[in-house]
Structure 1
Amino acid sequence: MDPLIQVTPPGPRARAVLERDAGVVSQSMVRAYPLVIERAEGTNLWDVDGNRYLDFTAGISVMNVGWNHPAVVGAVREQVGRLSHAAFLDFCAEVPVRFAEELVGMLPAGLDRVYFSNSGAETVEAALKLARHHTKRKYFISFYGGFHGRTYGALSLTAAKVIQRKHFGPFLPVVHAPYPDPYRPLCPCSGDECALDAIRYIKEEIFRTEVSPEEVAAIVVEPVQGEGGYIVPPRLFLRALRDLCDEHGILLVADEVQSGCYRTGRFLASEHSGVVPDIVCLAKALGGGLPLGVTVASDEVMTWPPGSHASTFGGNCAACAAGLAVLSVMREKGFGERVTETGEHLIAGLQGLMERHRIIGDVRGIGLMAAIELVRDRGTKEPAREERNEILKRAFEAGLTLLPAGESAIRFSPPLTIRPAEIDAGLAILDRAMEGY
């Protein structure tokens, strides 16, 4: 349904809830605008004042099969009536086992062993511990602009915003490398040369001046950077990174927490490059709105012994039942192809906006993981952060929910079930919100 704004947001009920929130809830979160959600369905959100919004966020890429998908809701209701928590670390239950079987059947060959947790950050923590245990090495390499979570190991990898790290160190021994950004390359290069330049930096700078490759347990990478700005690297990048890891016995960890679950048209974004990581981290969309994360590796890599790592709620039956329903929807014929087609429609619409608004410096994306980067001048590429925030506010007040990314980008990550007509409706709102820019 199209947006319906009956009360200028935030309305009186929303303001009352936000006031109570400010009095009792940690204010460590950053909220893009004052939205207080009451219910949701498909691609629509309703706030507590009765306003209806068209959603282009999917709850930060969580509701990939749509808000409150009936199959997910039904599976959770049925499972909770029978058993929600099975203490999977001490006992066993069939639902998590069945989920693991279904999941590995959708992954590239070799990714066949599943560790259960509850969030993206937990899947990354497990990946770090597993990499250290398997290689007996202690260092990691990750990338500037990357976001991997806020727990200590995940935060050690993260290098997106200084506020996320300020006063929390010291961190794990992580060395950061530049991520190949075709819009803002390190040197005057493009395409595959941009990717190879990033690999050269690791070889010629990091391995020469900071850490020897035989001390590196893993390189952790987002196949498409999420919080850093929805940056799509050249396809050669992951292939070259895979070769570099193989050369030095380093594990390649793909953080697919945001890019996985068909967000890019493939179940894993790394599949676009023909690369199979040693370890994959998945969460967000996997549970259809319930906390569910998995760290997946091969039998050869996941050899840690009983008692070495576990989670009280990992393998929660209610979450795994939701996950089974999500996987069932994603296995429907043509699901990934529809995401690809709808994504192409979205990119075409964003390129049309770029022709009308000079503040848009770049349009990028793959599948339904897309972004526009706003700049004050296309020549200098000076970020337009304040303008971006104002545009987000205008869109919200008109009934379109969007989220920021990077320094001055707007991300587009709607439910994967969104229709082209809904994309057109949302872009029309955004077009009006960008008037004067």
Structure 2
Amino acid sequence: MTLIAPADELSAPPAEAILRRQRVRESAARTYARSFPIVPVRASGMTVEGADGRRYLDCLAGAGTLALGHNHPVVLAAIRRTLDSGAPLHLLDLATAEKDDFTTTLLESLPAEFADGARVHFCGPAGTDAVEAALKLMQTATGRRGTLAFTGGYHGMTAGALAVSGNVAVKEALPSGGEVTRLPYPFAYRCPFGLGGEAGERVAARYTERLLDDPAGGVLPPAAMILEAVQGEGGAVPAPDGWLREMRRITAERGIPLIVDEVQTGVGRTGAMWAVQHSGIVPDAMVLSKAIGGSLPLAVLVYRPQFDGWRPGAHTGTFRGNTLAMAAGAATLRYVAEHGLADRADRVGRFLTGELTQLQQRLPVIGDVRGRGLMIGVELVDPAGEPDACGARPADPALAVRVREACLARGLIVELGGRHDAVLRLLPPLTITDEQARAVLDRLAEAIEAAAREAR
């Protein structure tokens, strides 16, 4: 059967026709496609070119996936070298030279105390599968079911995958479910206790400890605690280093495995190769994805050897590992380390947040500027709204949408996140130049000013 395009599509520009077909063919779950109605045809570094010839500075970078930006030469060379070598591109979980090189490079990049003797489990290609694997691993290791998680946390989109599976033996071998106890994440700008700063941090830690020790607190001994050292989708909220050390102490003293989700924070993003290095904590497991594949799908769970109690096949999958992604990922990890890109992310991040904080002084719609390294959030608020106990004004998601649109019109790609989707999130490649950083600031300032004028 031959499909003939509608007459209006035959006369429409190619990009418009492609976007129209996407709207018709793809599910209503489209997200980025709704925010950025463009058809990229070429990309290099931080620059994306649309089918209409317009160029954009990409401050989304694959939601933090593209540590080196689009089509970095070292990544392309690793992919071409692997293709030209004739290496098998798919071998389930068999050993290959590419996998061996990747695991060696990965373990060398991790904090030495954690990497010593650690086990690497290749998961399905998305970070969410590695999260599921981590939870199931700790349920198996502890014989417990519940999980401690935090307000504002985001760990992926899968839920109930095991529940809808039919293999009874697998279900019995891998306990799932269990209740989630939601704990307060310290958030200086919108402190759950209305305190902010160090006071809010101390109360958050004390609350966690008291709740776990209260025989009438309603919390059964959990299988694990999972957290992000910087909440990404939660609005670029960095956890205080002292609070992270308290979470490590609290969990260690109670025999609760600590899982740190580094899917978005890893590979230099926060100004250290791994976000846990800022606080010096040693978790029991780390969930890694996004940048570790060098722009290709890859996800792994790394954990301390005492938890390696799984039976063969306990968490498996057809696409556990991807030869091209392993080659690209190893090349990316080495490049970030050899060229000091974590330090670069720290320096440029400090510059951007400093300039944005100055911009806040003349643009009261900017309620807060925060983040770590090149993981930055700019929260937009209604300056006429009633402040809360910490002085934070009400979030303004409608303004945030207008700013995002104004950014795109000026050739800048930024996405929203955080509470009420009112936070402009900046996740540029670690290779961003000083000139590009200045251009980002200029375009963002123009967009915020224009959107704020429109709102008046």
Say yes or no: TM over 0.5.
yes
Tell me by how many angstroms 1:105 deviates: 0.9
The answer as to 2:425 corresponding to 1:411 is: yes
**CA 1:235–1:110 in 2, change beyond 3 Å: closer, same or farther?**
closer
When normalised by structure 1's length, the TM-score is 0.90
Secondary structure of the residue that 1:364 maps to in structure 2?
strand
Residue in structure 1 matched with residue 329 of structure 2 by the alignment = 323
Provide the C-alpha distance between the structure 2 equivalents of 1:173 and 1:18, rounded to a whole number of angstroms.
Answer: 42
Equivalent residue runs for 1:187-226 within 5 Å: 187-205=193-211, 208=214, 209=216, 211-212=218-219, 215-226=221-232
CA distance in 2, matches of 1:69, 1:37: 16
SS of residue in 2 equivalent to 1:110 = helix
For 1:84 and 1:178, the matched residues in 2 are separated by 47
Match for 1:26: what amino acid? Answer: S
The one-letter code matched in structure 2 to 1:416 is L
Matched, 1:435 2:443: no
Per the alignment, residue 391 of structure 1 pairs with: 403
Does 382-391 or 178-187 show the bigger shift? 178-187
Residues 207 and 353 (structure 1), Cα distance of their counterparts in 2 relative to 1, 3 Å cut: same
Which residue does 1:363 correspond to in 2? 369
Shift of residue 83 of structure 1? 2.5
Counterpart check, 1:73 vs 2:79: no
Residue 35 in 1 paired to residue 38 in 2?
Answer: yes
In the alignment, the residues of structure 2 paired with residue 154 and residue 363 of structure 1 have an alpha-carbon distance, to the nearest angstrom, of: 37
Q: Deviations for 1:197-239, whole angstroms, at most 9, x for unmatched residues?
A: 22233233466455445x2010000110010101112221110
2:32 counterpart of 1:25: no
- Match in the other structure for 1:61: 64
CA deviation after TM superposition for structure 1 residue 135, in Å:
1.1
Partner of 1:135: 142
Could you say what secondary structure the match of 2:424 adopts? Answer: strand
Whether the aligned pair in 2 keeps the contact of 1:123 and 1:294 (CA below 8 Å) is yes
CA distance in 1 between counterparts of 2:108 and 2:436 reads 32
Q: Is the 8 A contact 2:190 2:196 kept in 1?
A: no
1:167 alignment counterpart = none
Q: Alpha carbons of 1:134 and 1:227: their partners in 2 closer, same or farther (altered >3 Å)?
A: same
1:336 aligns with 2:342: yes
C-alpha spacing 1:291/1:339, structure 2 compared with 1 (3 Å): same
Larger Rg: 2
* Corresponding residue for residue 6 of structure 1: none
Alignment of structure 1 residues 191-340 onto 2, 5 Å: 191-205=197-211, 208=214, 209=216, 211-212=218-219, 215-340=221-346
- When normalised by structure 2's length, the TM-score is 0.86
Shift in Å, 1:153: 6.2
For 1:171 and 1:251, how far apart are their aligned partners in 2?
17
Q: Give 1:309 deviation, angstroms.
A: 1.8
- 1:15 aligned partner: 16
For residue 300 of structure 1, report the CA deviation from its aligned partner.
1.5
Structure 1 residue identity aligned to 2:89: H
Greater mean alpha carbon deviation, residues 399-408 or residues 189-198: 189-198
Partner Cα distance (1:12, 1:383) in 2: 38
Residues 56-84 of structure 1: CA distance to partner in whole angstroms, max 9, x if unpaired? 11111010111101111111122134124
Q: What do the CA deviations read for 1:345-383 (whole angstroms, capped 9, x no partner)?
A: 111121122122110011111111111111102762100
Q: Report the RMSD for the aligned CA atoms in angstroms.
A: 2.1
The structural deviation recorded for 1:181 is: 0.4
Q: 1:50 aligns with which of 50, 53, 64?
A: 53
The answer to whether the 8 A contact 1:86-1:92 is kept is no
- Percent identical among aligned pairs is 37
2:183 counterpart of 1:177: yes
Pick aligned residue for 1:400 from 390, 412, 426: 412
CA distance in 2, matches of 1:28, 1:334: 38
**CA distance in structure 1 between the partners assigned to 2:55 and 2:333 by the alignment:** 28
Task: Report the CA distance shift for 1:363/1:153 in structure 2 as closer, same or farther (over 3 A).
Answer: farther
CA drift at 1:412: 0.8
SS of 2:258 mapped into structure 1:
strand
The answer on whether the counterparts of 2:416 and 2:423 sit within 8 Å (CA) in structure 1 is yes
Within-5 A mapping of 1:84-99 = 84-89=88-93, 91-99=94-102
Alignment partner of 2:394: what SS?
A: coil
Q: Paired residue for 1:420?
A: 434
Shift of the alpha carbon at 1:405? 1.1
Q: In 2, distance between residues paired with 1:359 and 1:205?
A: 37
Question: How far is the alpha carbon of 1:29 from its aligned partner?
Answer: 2.4
What SS is found at the alignment partner of 2:89?
A: coil
Paired with 1:321 and 1:349, the residues of 2 have a C-alpha distance of 37
Deviation at 1:284, TM superposition (A): 0.6
Distance 2:272 2:240 in 1: 16
8 A Cα contact 1:339 1:416, kept in partner: yes
Unaligned 5+ runs, structure 1: 1-10, 157-169
* Aligned partner of residue 125 in structure 1, secondary structure: helix
Q: Which runs of 5+ in 2 are unaligned?
A: 1-11, 164-175, 388-392
Deviation at 1:333, TM superposition (A): 4.1
